[in-house]
């Protein structure tokens, strides 16, 4: 990859990678750090990576960096035990965006990432598998289970509106 292609990758993909990581982490600073780290890693491997694969390489690198950070934080903090709380809610909201983000926070990390990559970023199952390191079948299962959990949490649209 040339320097010009690297700069083009920064211009074209930085926002999309940021949105993907930000949607999972809910932290602007950590998302910016991960994006910065991903582009630094791309620069370190610029001679080995061709421009056409740079987008999936960046998403994959950012995803794995995010997972590493999450795992590190889990080891450093004690986790509270779940009370078996279901992904259902009786409260009514008027902000659909708030409801969706609350629902996304409640589903497991792999399901959330798969749903976000598929529904927000428009990746194919194969591309999501390449990014996350899962098989296409695992990706499809995670997307299905994530969507079911979101549906159960959100409930019927009539109760929201």
Q: Mean pLDDT over all residues of the chain?
A: 80
pTM attached to this predicted model: 0.53
Quote the pLDDT of residue 85: 46
Angstrom distance (rounded) from CA 13 to CA 35: 10
Quote the pLDDT of residue 70: 80
Angstrom distance (rounded) from CA 95 to CA 80: 28
Q: CATH 1.10.10.10: which residues of the chain?
A: 96-160
Determine the CATH number of domain 96-160.
1.10.10.10
Write the pLDDT tens digit of every residue in 5-21.
888 888 888 888 898 88
Is CATH 1.10.3470 correct for 3-76? Answer: no
Write the pLDDT tens digit of every residue in 21-36.
888 888 888 888 889 9
Model confidence at 73, pLDDT cuts 50, 70, 90, reads confident
Quote the pLDDT of residue 72: 79
Quote the pLDDT of residue 133: 87
- Helix pair 3-25, 54-76: axis angle to 10 deg: 40
Min mean pLDDT across 92-96, 128-132, 147-151 is at 92-96
**Largest Cα–Cα distance in the chain?**
54
Q: CATH 1.10.1740: which residues of the chain?
A: 3-76
Quote the pLDDT of residue 157: 57
Model confidence at 81, pLDDT cuts 50, 70, 90, reads very low
């Amino acid at each position: 990859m040339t320097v010009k292609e690297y700069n083009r990758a920064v211009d074209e993909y930085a926002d999309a990678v940021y949105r993907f990581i930000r949607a999972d982490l809910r932290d602007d600073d950590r998302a910016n750090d991960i994006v910065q780290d991903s582009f630094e890693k791309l620069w370190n491997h610029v001679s080995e990576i061709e421009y056409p694969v740079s987008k999936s390489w960046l998403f994959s690198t950012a995803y794995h960096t995010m997972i590493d950070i999450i795992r590190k934080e889990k080891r450093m903090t004690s986790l509270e035990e779940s009370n078996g709380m279901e992904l259902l809610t009786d409260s009514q909201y008027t902000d659909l965006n708030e409801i969706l983000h609350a629902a996304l926070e409640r589903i497991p990390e792999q399901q959330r990432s798969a749903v976000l990559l598929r529904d927000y970023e428009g990746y194919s199952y194969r591309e999501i598998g390449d990014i996350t390191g899962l098989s296409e079948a695992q990706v499809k299962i995670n997307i299905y289970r994530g969507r079911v959990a979101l549906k159960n949490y959100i409930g019927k649209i009539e109760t929201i509106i």
